[in-house]
Amino acid sequence: MIIIDYKDTRPIYEQIVDKFQQLILRGIIQTDEQMPSVRMLAMELSINPNTIQKAYAELERQGFIYAVKGRGNFVAYSDKLLEGKKEEIRLKLQNIYQEAAEIGISREEFQGYLEDGRMS
Amino acid sequence: MIIIDYKDTRPIYEQIVDKFQQLILRGIIQTDEQMPSVRMLAMELSINPNTIQKAYAELERQGFIYAVKGRGNFVAYSDKLLEGKKEEIRLKLQNIYQEAAEIGISREEFQGYLEDGRMS
DNA sequence: TTGGTGTATTAAGGGTAATAGTACAGAAGG
DNA sequence: CCTTCTGTACTATTACCCTTAATACACCAA
């Protein structure tokens, strides 16, 4: 379900956060479904429980999951999460467009990248 | 010419690299023009010469400048640099589009972000 | 010769990521 | 009640990267 990419320069906990965001937003893990326990997932990925703990704390902070002491972590999906993610993507797109503009790429040329790329 | 943003989480040397890439790609500093000396720029920005040195080494590695011992660093612009930067932007755009697709955003919706944003 | 240039080296500090180990509290089931 | 699972909290340690600091050396030009 989760795979760590050690070639990725981002920290492990961040990769885990992103992966679970995807799984939740795409409905692969559904509302109120139980997340893997901190210790189980740590064992499975051969990393330290503290790292999972950090990822789960972040997911809870962002509203993706909720924790019940003694029972586990559960998915707390709502439409607001999807909207938040969309907004994040809008911002990233803006930043790239700005970066393109800064080196003299016109809006038309930029849009062209999206057209002829036909990105998978 | 160069301003360091201490609120930025990226390392200083990376900010300097990016800034000079822009200045060179936009033609504000032109081919064979002399770069500020390592020591001078360090003084001006109130940072350590080693940090500038690291930025210049990276710029040289990427082909943006060339160094002449005892004389200074000079701009080595060529069209290939602009093409390289465009390719980098294309890749970033692809990654974002893929991220959008992964949470169920259609190509049309994604293109819409570019239209109605009217990004400055 | 003097002063400015790039370059290399070593040492030290600070921050963050990750690991390791321990401890405590709550829930579930026998 | 007891055991075992769960989350949570805390400290210590290791490792890596960024940055500063202080030198030292080689090269070029005036």
**Mean pLDDT (whole number) for A5-30:** 93
Residue A118 has what pLDDT? 52
Residues A80-111: tens digit of each pLDDT:
899 999 999 999 999 999 999 988 899 999 99
Task: Report the alpha-carbon distance of residue B108 to residue B116 in Å, rounded.
Answer: 12
- Tell me the residue type at A77: Y
* Segment A8-33 mean pLDDT: 93
Q: Residue B94: list chain A partners with CB under 8 A.
A: 117, 119
- B81 CA → D14 C1’, Å: 40
For chains A and B, what is the number of CB pairs under 8 angstroms? 71
What is this structure's pTM? 0.86
Q: Å from A50 (CA) to D13 (C1')?
A: 14
**Cα–Cα dist A19/A49, whole Å:** 17
**Among A68, A58, A80, A75, which residue's Cα sits nearest to residue A23?**
A75
- Residue A109 has what pLDDT? 93
Mean pLDDT by 10 residues, chain B (120 residues): 92 97 93 97 97 98 96 91 93 92 90 69
| B26/A103 touch (CB, cutoff 8 Å), yes or no | yes
Query: If you average pLDDT over every residue of chain A, what do you get?
Result: 91
Cβ separation of B89 and A100 shorter than 8 Å?
yes
Q: Which residues of B83-108 are buried (b: 16+ CB within 10 A; e: fewer)?
A: eebbeebbebbeebbebbeebebeee
Q: Which parts of B15-107 are beta strand (E)?
A: 65-68, 72-75
d(CA B88, CA B97): 14
Share of chain A above pLDDT 90, in %: 78
For A4, the token pair is 């760590």
